A and B are shown apart, each in its own frame.
Chain A
Amino acid sequence: MAVDVADARVFTELRSKPTRRKIWPLVWPKLLAVAIFIAAWQLLVWSGWKPEYVIPSPFTVLDQLFHDLGSLAGPVGVTMRRAAVGYSLAILIGGAVGLAVARVRVLRIAIGSMITGLQTMPSVAWVPLAIVLFQLSERAILFVVILGAAPSIANGIIDGVDNVPPLLMRAGRVLGAQGFSALRYVVVPAALPSVISGLKQGWAFAWRSLMAGELITVFPGHLGIAQTLNSAYQNADFVGVYEAMIVIFVLGVVIDALFFGTIERAVRRRYGLVDAAAA
């Protein structure tokens, strides 16, 4: 008995994946936006609103950036190492707190709403306390990064566990999934999309916190990209300011959109959470 034609047709429509031909329509608007931005910047320079040492031509900045790529690699490396360490610790801490709050009712009542509250706390506000506790040091910066990222990560887990569809829990129970096996085979996979959203948001907060931490917590030795930005500003090297800002922006976008965005989209597609016809 073959599957009927309608089923097969639906199936084909849903399975069609984006092909090479579908990538260009996604790329050209972005390229156009960048081109318009650079053009607007150049027009602003030509308008003479500010002297050219304050707002240099985009081509001067890009040219300089190209020349300085080698010397920027060091600060970028320092910053990325801090990001990796801080973000990893935030995952450990946020993950543990999130799991505990999601599973233990008393903890939920006690600190559940506080975690959401922590998310709204601007990370710069933690910097003075971080310096008091850890002086001008690596640890002060990591402290700010962790406090910035951990609440989002914890919230992603709590939301995910809270919103496991009851029907799926019931289906799992009927199949014999109880206790740990219900957690492993039903709750964890069902919560995954929300957990990934939390991780993505946590990264955005970690990156912002890291920049705030680096800008304020300047100490000799290892200089990160935001500290490069700061010293360019101190030395009135405005081209350097723009360079550093472009690097910070590009790094943030690449990791957020390309890395986390791709994972998030892949998971959502796999779970059927996107309109497959539009994907």
Chain B
Amino acid sequence: MTAPTDLELRAPIAPAVSIAGVSKVFGSGSASVVALDRVSIDVEPGEFVCLLGASGCGKSTLLNLVAGLDRPTSGQIDVRANRTGLMFQEAALFPWLTARGNIELALKLAGAGRDERRRRTDQLLEMVHLGDFAKRRPHELSGGMRQRVALARALAQDAQVLLMDEPFGALDAMTRDRLHDELETVWRETAKTVIFVTHNVREAIRLGDRVVLLAPRPGRVAEIFPVDIARPRRIDSTPVATLAATITDRLRTEADNGR
């Protein structure tokens, strides 16, 4: 349960995020619910890991723990990064600020000076293809555009680890498909470590270097699937569909076991 403190004892590359025997219990006594049961995952620097599972498997809980928004009941989480960026299913943009203003505020809270804020915001808006929409307010943007601003805002924090909680879950398939391409490009260009939560099997395979399948009640790691499909991938390609079938079968088994 206790992680070694001596770095020499670790693997050649220290993981960017190390989740070791983490359990999370909500409530106490007979009313308590075990949300996570001894979950262990190591995420390497620059790796894209997808946490996949049905609702109730504790994937969002795990993400909150990594983000430091909550504490594990037992076990240890080590994040070797200056900080973590977090993106939600809702864009959660500040409605009184423009797209530019939302990104600049993130930079301001991260301590950036005025000139740097301006320069970085321009870069980030270009990166998510919203250069022409800098002055629009969230309610003037489509759902996909809002999530792009949210992505740019998360990137603005310059966190080495980016946590994403079903960020494209509320978008239509076409928009989601395009955002997958953009996220992949951004990830390649910035070399960030990404932990991406989803309940969409194909989305997990489309994006992840590895897919961590979580089983529900209590939330635990059922299996970890490496995704050996060359990038750039297409969500409707045969290799993705084949692996999706395998993982879906495994998901069904887990769901039946958990019943």
Contacts and interface: CB of A to CB of B under 8 A. Distances in A.
Interface of A: 1-4, 6-7, 10-11, 14-15, 167-168, 170-171, 173-177, 181, 185-186, 189-190, 192, 270-272, 276
B94 A168 contact: yes
Majority-rule SS of A interface residues: helix
A7 B144 contact: yes
A167 B90 contact: yes
B109 A189 contact: no
B96 A192 contact: yes
Nearest to B156: A175
Contacts of B97: 189
A1 B131 CA distance: 11
A190 B96 CA distance: 8
Contact of B137 (A10, A177, A270): A270
Contact of B109 (A7, A167, A176): A176
B96 A15 contact: no
A186 B188 CA distance: 32
Given A190-B94, A272-B137, 20 more contacts: A1-B182, A3-B132, A3-B133, A3-B145, A7-B141, A11-B140, A11-B141, A14-B140, A167-B90, A168-B92, A170-B69, A170-B88, A170-B92, A174-B67, A175-B106, A175-B153, A176-B109, A189-B96, A270-B137, A276-B140
B235 to A, nearest CB: 18
Contacts of B137: 270-272
Contact of A15 (B109, B130, B140, B142): B140
B205 to A, nearest CB: 23
A272 B138 contact: yes
Nearest to B132: A3
A186 B105 CA distance: 10
B110 A176 contact: yes
- The interface centre, meaning the residue of A14, A175, A190 with most chain B CB atoms within 10 A of its CB, is A175
B109 A6 contact: no
B136 interface: yes
Interface string B143-159: 01100000001000100
A92 to B, nearest CB: 24
B70 to A, nearest CB: 11
A277 to B, nearest CB: 11
Contacts of B95: 271-272
Contacts of A181: 109
Contacts of A171: 88, 92-94
- The interface centre, meaning the residue of B83, B93, B95 with most chain A CB atoms within 10 A of its CB, is B95
B129 interface: yes
- The interface centre, meaning the residue of B83, B96, B132 with most chain A CB atoms within 10 A of its CB, is B96
B129 A1 contact: yes
Given A174-B67, A175-B105, A7 B142 contact: yes
A231 B107 CA distance: 63
B138 A6 contact: no
A8 B139 CA distance: 14
A239 B35 CA distance: 77
A7 B90 contact: no
B157 A176 contact: yes
Interface string B70-95: 00000000000001011010101111
A271 B157 CA distance: 24
Which 7 A-B pairs rank lowest in CB-CB distance, beginning with the nearest?
Answer: A272-B139, A171-B92, A176-B109, A174-B86, A14-B140, A189-B96, A7-B142
A189 B144 CA distance: 25
